[in-house]
Homo-oligomer: A and B are copies of this chain.
Amino acid sequence: MKIGFVGLGHMGAPMARNLLKAGHSLTVFDVVQLNVDALKAAGASAAISPARAASEVELLVTMLPSSPHVKTVYLDQDGVLSGVARGVTLIDSSTIDPHTAREVADRAARHGNSMADAPVSGGTGGAEAGTLTFMVGGSFEVFEQIAPVLRQMGKNIVHCGESGTGQVAKICNNLLLGISMIGVSEAMNLGTALGIDAKVLAGIINTSSGRCWSSDTYNPYPGVMDNVPAARGYTGGFGAELMLKDLTLALDAAKLSKQPVVLGALAQQLYQMFSSQGAGGQDFSAIINLYRQKP
């Protein structure tokens, strides 16, 4: 299949490579020439603009850092919509706010293109291993059409509903994740301050009603689990800055729909405070250090 791919960063590059490995013919674009060169070396063709990357392909995938980038890449003068043929399906795997996702999908529809928002979870590790989860918003027809291609980059492909619901699923999950991680941090620090052993406490929580992914799979308290960021000084994993970004997306969406998210707003502020103390580059589970008592 002839596929266009725009956005070759930490996530986009390995995703594009997996499409090459699956036998597709790729035309790529990125604002950073080095990123383009690396993909060319792997067998892709380079285009000089999003518009050109989108012309003469049967499918287009984008993976970009934020809403303004998505608007620029799709809607600007040299953007995707100015080059793509009617009927070509568009997939945006960026994590952005649902309102922008819907707005761009509407513009695409008026131009004659179906579009799906398909944000991912699984991080750079999942992108390389081809084990990402894709949360897909768009019509069921589009979902069925693109699922086989997404499966070449991921393992779990979920249809969330109409346009924008892929983004909704992602930000709602991460809203809850951000809250849970701080909740686990508070419970673990309170428990140990009160004299219970951290592993014992985690064991009880993990078999009780406090059970959650942040505790049983990604526990932030050092010494409770191996192979998590807490076991290696909070390096690797999902950065606190990225969690802050996702919580902020959730709050922006909540604002537009006038929906209160009280704990979410406080969680976002705690990540903001943590980040303003210079720790935004650490894994998001390092938020537990905000609660550590200084000697």
Contacts and interface: CB of A to CB of B under 8 A. Distances in A.
Interface of A: 98, 121, 133, 135, 156, 158-162, 164-165, 168-169, 171-177, 179-180, 182-184, 186-191, 193-197, 200-201, 203-205, 207-215, 217-218, 248, 250-251, 253-255, 257-270, 272-273, 275-278, 290-295
B190 A257 contact: yes
Nearest to A215: B176
Contact of A190 (B121, B135, B195, B250): B250
A224 to B, nearest CB: 13
The complex is assembled from copies of this chain, and their number is 4
A262 B273 contact: yes
Given A121-B209, A175-B186, A182-B262, 18 more contacts: A156-B207, A164-B195, A165-B200, A168-B191, A171-B190, A172-B201, A173-B204, A173-B208, A176-B184, A176-B187, A180-B180, A183-B183, A208-B213, A209-B218, A211-B212, A212-B213, A258-B275, A276-B294
Contact of A205 (B98, B172, B204, B218): B172
Contact of A266 (B133, B164, B263): B263
A193 B257 contact: yes
Nearest to A185: B263
A183 B180 contact: yes
Given A213-B211, A260-B291, A196 B169 contact: yes
Contact of A265 (B215, B250, B269): B269
A188 B184 CA distance: 20
A269 B261 contact: yes
Contacts of A205: 172-173, 176
11 contacts: A165-B200, A174-B210, A176-B187, A182-B263, A186-B262, A186-B264, A190-B261, A209-B217, A251-B251, A258-B276, A260-B276
A183 B176 CA distance: 5
A144 B100 CA distance: 42
Residue with the highest number of chain B CB atoms closer than 10 Å, among A174, A248, A251: A251
Given A175-B187, A176-B184, A276-B293, A165 B196 contact: yes
Contact of A291 (B182, B196, B253, B259): B259
Contacts of A200: 159-161, 165, 169
A145 B248 CA distance: 40
